[in-house]
Amino acid sequence: MQPVVLPNTSLRKTMEVIGKSGFGIAIVIKEETEEVLGVISDGDIRRAILDGIRLEEDISQIYITDFIYATEDEPYSSLAEIMVEKSINQIPILDKQGHLVEVAIARKLLEDTKVKSISQLKIHDVKKVLIIGGAGYIGSHLSRILLDKGLSVRVFDKLVYGTEGIKELQVNPNFELISGDIRNLDEIMNAMFDVDAVVHLAAIVGDPASKLLPHEAIVINYVSSIAIASLCKYLQINRFIFASTCSVYGKTDDKLISEEGNLNPLSLYAVTKVETEKALKAMENQNFKPTILRFSTIYGLSERMRFDLAANIMTAHGYFNKKIKVFGGEQWRPFLHVYDAANAIVSVLTSPFSKIEGEIFNVGSNNQNFQIKDIALILKDLIPNLEIETTDEGDHRDYSVSFSKIEELLQFKPKHTLEEGIEEILETLKKGKYKDYRDKKYSNFLLLKSDGIEDVEKKITFE
């Protein structure tokens, strides 16, 4: 789709054209002759919105007439040099009559040395990503992956759990850290200004932590999430990814529950996610269709490590104490490595918008649905003389999940297995790291309330 609009096109419709084309800009043409008059970017429109111009008004006073362009016979190397020198990501290619031929993307010009002509260029519409909660368990992985792919990353985080997860990234010129609270809408809006996509990971995560601070959980997980989505909608940021959880299924008799299955939240944490999902679906319009990701139970190593997750804490207990306690054990859960969780977000960010707009995806793998007792059995094979104690106490949630949709639509398949993730943690523990795994910095719940460790073990979250 060529991103072409007329001067009397509304801001709302222009943003729709920009979003669907994926170029980040629209080319303004004269209706009678199709001569190119100027260009307008999503950033230009957001500036206009913040200046009080309504979405129904036209772009005639906003679009840029003094713009940089290239001719269709421009040498490949010369075109790339122009874009680097002028620090521009997209450039219209015009013929001798001033008509649009194509829009060139800087990154593809620089990366794809096999490109022989402008017509071979492929679009890449996401250049800068805002990760809300980007210093956390998943976000610290996601930041690294996106930076490695050449994207710019802005992290907005209250840094409740410190900067350990993203400390080394701060020397990267494509990385920016903003310390702030998601309840402060001024700060959030400023952070959103020039980004192409928003990934919302921030929350009071897990049942124990949400139960401990119910008021904060409702405000942060639900109210603030809706406010953030509303700002994205207002600023016409159509790629908005919301992190939800498979915990919304609660307890079900379905063998493999799909995204269309009944929701049965059994905790305040899950309820806040369900209600936010409902609100996001109600907010949808032609220009704003968020993507909701229901993550499996996460495990594995991260720069911002957590030992309040089922596989991680059981592995640490087994290694250091040679004894683990299994609460219940018959409950089914889907599992997912933290690296794969981050990669799933990357898959959504880099997929054509038509594949992900307004979609809900379970994130995980059909072959990683396990009963809690299975973690103990894996550990039994890896830790000699491990003692396993089983108790009737436990979490009432019980669900196994289907991940066929994300595999079929986005070709997403996790690269890690639960056993590999546990072995990875064990190897790290053997090297002497995380001897202080009981420290509150590794637990969302403990950091919020310095409670007795024995009490916390009964409240382990399986998120």
CA–CA dist 332, 256 (Å, integer): 10
The residue with tokens 């419709």 is 13
Q: Alpha-carbon distance 273 to 245, whole Å?
A: 7
Q: What is the pLDDT of residue 42?
A: 84
- Measured between alpha carbons, how far is 313 from 220 in angstroms, rounded to an integer? 26
* C-alpha distances in Å from residue 400, one per residue of 130, 295, 314, 364: 32, 12, 20, 11
Compute CA distances 202 → 3, 242, 243, 305, 358, whole Å: 34, 9, 8, 16, 20
User: 132 and 116 in one domain?
Assistant: no
As to burial, measured by CB atoms within 10 angstroms (0-12 exposed, 13-18 middle, 19+ buried), residue 158 is: middle
Q: Does residue 413 lie within any of the structural domains?
A: yes
How far is Cα 210 from Cα 153, in angstroms, rounded to an integer? 29
Please check whether residue 378 lies inside any domain of the structure.
Answer: yes
Our count of domains for the chain comes to 2
State whether 235 and 170 are in the same domain: yes
Q: What is the pLDDT of residue 279?
A: 97
What pLDDT is recorded for position 86?
Answer: 60
Q: 314 and 424 in one domain?
A: yes
Instruction: Enumerate residue ranges in the chain where pLDDT < 50.
Output: 113-124, 451-463
Instruction: Provide the pLDDT for residue 460.
Output: 40
Are 85 and 178 found together in one domain? no
Are residues 173 and 45 part of one domain? no
User: In one letter, which amino acid is 3?
Assistant: P
Query: Which strands sit side by side in the sheet containing 291-295, from one edge to the other?
Result: 175-179, 152-157, 128-132, 197-200, 239-245, 291-295, 360-363
- In a domain? residue 107: yes
Q: Give the H/E segment covering residue 419.
A: helix 418-430
* pLDDT tens digits along 190-244: 999 889 899 999 999 887 788 888 899 999 999 999 999 999 998 888 899 999 9
| DSSP codes of every residue in 178-207 | EE--TT-HHHHHHHHTT-SEEEE--S--SH
Query: Do residues 145 and 14 both lie within one domain?
Result: no
* pLDDT at residue 104 in the model: 65
- Identify whether 462 is part of a domain: no
Residues 66 and 179 occupy one common structural domain: no
Residue where a domain stops, chosen among 120, 153, 174: 120
> For residue 223, what is the DSSP state?
I
Are 130 and 229 a contacting pair, CB within 8 Å? no
- Closest Cα to residue 328, out of 305, 343, 315, 310? 310
**Residues 84 and 146 reside in one and the same domain:** no
Domain carrying residue 10: 4-120
Task: Confirm whether 76 is domain-assigned.
Answer: yes
Classify strands 25-29 and 36-41 as parallel, antiparallel or unpaired: antiparallel
Q: Residue 66's pLDDT is what?
A: 86
- With respect to residue 335, please indicate whether it lies within any of the assigned structural domains: yes
Report d(CA 339, CA 168) in Å as an integer. 18
Co-location of 102 and 137 in the same domain: no
**Residues 271, 401 within the same domain:** yes
Maximum Cα–Cα distance for the chain, whole Å? Answer: 82
Question: The domain that contains 30 carries what CATH number?
Answer: 3.10.580.10
Kindly report the CATH number assigned to the domain that includes residue 186.
Answer: 3.40.50.720
Structural domain includes residue 463: no
Report the side by side order of strands in the sheet with 369-371. Answer: 297-299, 332-337, 369-371
- 203 and 294 share one domain: yes
Say yes or no: 142 and 234 in one domain.
Answer: yes
Boundary (domain end) residue, out of 120, 142, 160? 120
Question: What are the tens digits of pLDDT across the range 131-172?
Answer: 999 999 999 999 999 999 989 999 999 998 889 899 999 999
pLDDT of residue 84: 59
Nearest residue to 197 via CA among 234, 227, 153: 153
Burial state string for 126-144 with b = 16 or more CB within 10 A and e = fewer than 16 = bbbbbbbbbbbbbbbbbbb
Closest C-alpha to 181, from 215, 207, 152, 204: 204
Residue among 301, 340, 324 at smallest CA distance from 421: 301
Q: Of 231, 191, 137, 16, give the one whose Cα is nearest residue 447.
A: 137
Per-residue pLDDT at 447: 74
Mean pLDDT of the chain: 86
Instruction: Look at residues 61, 96, 120 and tell me which one is the last residue of a structural domain.
Output: 120
CA dist 34 → 39, 98, 122, 347 (Å)? 13, 8, 23, 36
CA angle at 269 for the pair 267 and 274, rounded to the nearest 5°: 90
Burial class (CB in 10 A: 0-12, 13-18, 19+), 181: middle
Q: Let me know how long the chain is.
A: 463
* Domain assignment present for 275: yes
